């Protein structure tokens, strides 16, 4: 059996001894590298047992553990803040930046809803007119769009086909006459309606009741003014008795289906483009470093298991000894999974939503507690 290098009992870290060198220039990382190596070797059985790892192996595991810790933390930060990050610049790292909530993405999303609700949005609404012919009840609005060189179709949003306003048929029994009264009517905006009607001299409630009576009479004695729109086939009710014009509003379907692209390649468009870099080791607190130490041990245990797996047994005087490769790999996998799970649970407990829910529960508990406190009785 070829000789296998074993841990010598001590190490001296210097920059350039890790695979990637992410943290080699960090003085805290340099100070902890040899301590972590000794910690892992001791937990793996040294000096009572040989540990088939070198200092470079421990350094590599240490570097990977720090990187894994940073990946988990920053992935959580991306999930928590992505709506606030999307569309921002990729130019500078956000590792140590406080990301404040903003409404940019919500406004963008709201515009799409605003288009459908017709309370804003980002799609232009057009108006059109259609000649209405006496005795013709059905009209094809797709043909109108084609005749007006509108490609891709239209989506009708509103049709102005209503009964004549009751006010134009209003008759006031207290009508006045004379140029003076008519001038006063013109000043109030009623000059185009019933001539010489002194609206302004009667209570407004009288006008409302009179117009309600006219509209109620129309509902009972006349066909209702309405329409039916199916696949841009318009049917109007009642059948027109005179030629006229029908006004409508519409969207161009090509405008609604258009995706607004931004050609600026320096903006965040996916989580992979959020400018998080590797963590700064000296900024990781003692709680985080303890997680890193434990994860380094699990990685070292896994690596040792792979090394011992190359030789299932080793000769000893008069017999063979079986190595514990399977036990090391099983323990390493379980420990890594447990550490990742615990870290993710801790991060989720610090999420904005969880913290706000906890504050709301605390406020509700305090409210209930204070309600049980009796009020002071004042006698005087």
Residue 317: per-residue pLDDT: 60
Q: What is residue 171's predicted lDDT score, i.e. its pLDDT? A: 52
252's enclosing H/E stretch is strand 244-252
Total Cβ atoms within 10 A of residue 104: 14
In a domain, 281, yes or no: no
Asked if residue 98 has pLDDT above 70, the reply is yes
Query: Which pLDDT value is given to residue 173?
Result: 46
What is 2-13 written as a DSSP string?
Answer: -------S----
Residue 81 C-alpha from the chain's centroid: 9
376 falls within a domain: no
Most confidently modeled range among 54-58, 225-229, 314-318: 54-58
188: pLDDT strictly greater than 60: no
Answer whether residue 13 shows pLDDT above 90. Answer: yes
Q: Check pLDDT > 90 for residue 104.
A: no
Does the residue 62 lie in any domain?
no
Task: pLDDT band for 304, please (50, 70, 90 cuts).
Answer: very high
Answer whether residue 33 shows pLDDT above 70.
yes
Instruction: Let me know if residue 180 belongs to a domain.
Output: yes
* Most confident option among 78-87, 159-168, 252-261: 78-87
pLDDT for position 335 = 97
Q: Across the strands, what pairs with 154?
A: 252
Residue 174 pLDDT grade (very low, low, confident, very high; cuts 50, 70, 90): very low
> What contacts 21, CB < 8 A, 6 or more positions away?
15
Is residue 144, in this structure, part of any structural domain at all? yes
- Residue 7 has a pLDDT of 87
Number of domains in the chain: 1
pLDDT for position 82: 87
Query: Given a cut of 80, is residue 53 above it in pLDDT?
Result: yes
Query: Per the domain annotation, does 171 fall within a domain?
Result: yes
Q: CA-CA distance, 157 to 173, in Å (whole number)?
A: 41
Q: Which carries the bigger pLDDT value, residue 202 or residue 188? A: 202
Supply the Cα-derived Rg of the chain in whole angstroms: 40
Spatial CB neighbours of 73, under 8 Å, sequence gap ≥ 6: 279, 343, 347
Is residue 14's pLDDT more than 80? Answer: yes
Q: Region 9-24: what's the mean pLDDT?
A: 95
Question: Does 300 map to a domain?
Answer: no
83-87, 232-236, 298-302, 325-329: which has the minimum mean pLDDT? 83-87
In which element (H, E) is residue 71 found?
helix 55-85
Least-confidence region, from 72-86, 127-141, 163-177, 333-347: 163-177
Q: Give the pLDDT mean for 274-290.
A: 94
40 alpha carbon, distance to own chain's centre: 42
Tell whether the model's pLDDT for residue 172 goes beyond 60: no
Q: Assess whether pLDDT exceeds 80 at residue 222.
A: no
pLDDT at 183: 53
Q: Which domain holds residue 163?
A: 118-257
Q: How far apart are the C-alpha atoms of 75 and 360, rounded to whole Å?
A: 27
- Name the one residue in this structure whose structure tokens are 């609005």: 141
- 192 within a domain of the structure (yes/no): yes
CA-to-CA distance for 193 and 134, rounded, in angstroms?
A: 26
Average pLDDT over residues 222-226: 72
d(CA 233, CA 147): 15
């Amino acid at each position: 059996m070829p000789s296998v290098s074993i841990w010598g009992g001590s190490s001296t870290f210097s920059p350039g001894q890790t695979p990637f060198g992410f943290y080699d220039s960090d003085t805290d990382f340099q100070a902890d590298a040899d301590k972590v190596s000794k910690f892992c070797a001791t937990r793996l059985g040294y000096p009572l047992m040989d540990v088939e790892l070198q200092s470079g192996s421990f350094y590599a595991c240490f570097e990977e553990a720090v990187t894994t810790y940073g990946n988990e933390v920053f992935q959580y930060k991306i999930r928590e803040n992505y709506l606030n990050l999307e569309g921002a610049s990729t130019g500078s790292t956000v590792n140590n930046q406080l990301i404040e909530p903003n409404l940019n993405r919500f406004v963008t999303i709201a515009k799409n809803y605003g288009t459908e609700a017709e309370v804003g949005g980002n799609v232009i609404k057009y108006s059109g007119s259609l000649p209405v012919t006496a005795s013709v009840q059905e009209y094809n609005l797709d043909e109108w769009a084609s005749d007006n060189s509108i490609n891709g179709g239209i989506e009708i949003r509103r049709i102005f086909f209503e009964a004549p306003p009751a006010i134009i048929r209003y008759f006031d029994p207290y009508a006045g006459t004379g140029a003076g009264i008519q001038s006063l009517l013109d000043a109030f905006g009623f000059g185009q309606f019933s001539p010489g009607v002194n609206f302004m001299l009667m209570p407004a409630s009288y006008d409302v009741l009179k117009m309600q009576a006219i509209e109620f009479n129309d509902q009972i004695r006349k066909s209702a003014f309405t329409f039916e729109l199916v696949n841009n086939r318009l049917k109007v009710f009642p059948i027109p008795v005179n030629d006229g014009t029908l006004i409508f509003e519409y969207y161009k379907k090509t405008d609604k289906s258009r995706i607004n692209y931004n050609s600026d390649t320096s903006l965040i468009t996916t989580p992979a483009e959020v400018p998080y870099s590797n963590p700064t080791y000296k900024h990781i607190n003692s709680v985080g470093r303890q997680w890193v130490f434990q994860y380094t041990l699990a990685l070292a245990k896994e690596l040792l298991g792979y090394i011992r797996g190359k030789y299932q047994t080793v000769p000893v005087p008069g017999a063979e000894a079986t190595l514990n490769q399977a036990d090391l790999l099983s323990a390493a996998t379980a420990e890594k999974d447990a550490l990742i799970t615990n870290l993710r649970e801790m991060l989720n407990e610090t999420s904005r939503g969880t913290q706000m829910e906890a504050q709301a529960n605390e406020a509700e508990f305090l409210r209930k507690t204070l309600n049980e406190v009796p009020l002071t009785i004042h006698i005087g």
